[in-house]
Amino acid sequence: MRQRLGIIQALMNNPRVLFMDEPTSALDPIGRREVLELIAHLKESSTIFMSTHILSDVERVCDMVGVIDKGRLITVSTVVELRKKYARSVFEIEFIENAKPFLEILKKIDWLVEPAIVVESGTPVLRVKALDVDRARRELPKLIALSGLTLTRYEMGAPSLEEIFMEIVSNGDKR
């Protein structure tokens, strides 16, 4: 309730510039959605600076992103530009069987980065980033076929903003 009251107070004079610190923290999912919808509407007529650790909120409402690490501004860019700059395609693979033995094989391949099994909606998913996307597109299906495992999903996607953030912070934006 206090969060919403603070936002209402800040909006009373129709500011052209608005600073919001963690505007969705401590809100339930409905309240969070309402605040994000409000921000999306407000950004049409105001400049909004929003600090948050909830990067999915950033993806939903922000046009520009600034990454700060240890008090230092590392990069400023659009989400689209960040995705292009840090575009390492992420492959998501699901099997009926346990994928841990296949994961160990992928860990030894130099054109793949950070293979890991993550749980999405209760389902174990093998996620792997490719340094060489063309090679991954050619070779991963062959490796999957050789594994003898029963494939249920094979998908290529873009890295999340959280993955991009982690790469920027760990590398100091040296790209």
Q: Which domains does the chain have, with CATH numbers?
A: 2-62 (3.40.50.300), 67-87+160-175 (no CATH), 88-157 (3.30.70.920)
In the chain, alpha helices (H) = 2-11, 29-42, 55-61, 79-85, 100-106, 133-147, 161-171
Task: Give mean pLDDT, residues 135-157.
Answer: 94
Give CA 43 to chain center in angstroms: 22
Q: At residue 4, does pLDDT exceed 90?
A: no
Residue 174's pLDDT band (boundaries 50, 70, 90)? low
SS3 95: strand
More confident residue, 134 or 173: 134
pLDDT at 172: 61
| Choice between 95 and 170, residue whose per-residue pLDDT is larger | 95
The pTM of the full predicted model, rounded to 2 decimals, is 0.63
* Length of the chain (residues): 175
Q: What is the DSSP string of 59-73?
A: HHH-SEEEEEETTEE
- Coil, helix or strand for 15? coil
Query: Is residue 22 within 8 Å of 57, Cβ to Cβ?
Result: no
Question: Measured in Å, how far apart are the chain's first and last C-alpha atoms?
Answer: 42
The angle formed by the CA atoms of residues 96, 100 and 105, to the nearest 5 degrees, is 115
Comparing 59 with 171, the larger pLDDT belongs to 59
Structural Rg of the chain based on CA atoms? 20
- Residue 64 pairs in a beta bridge with 78
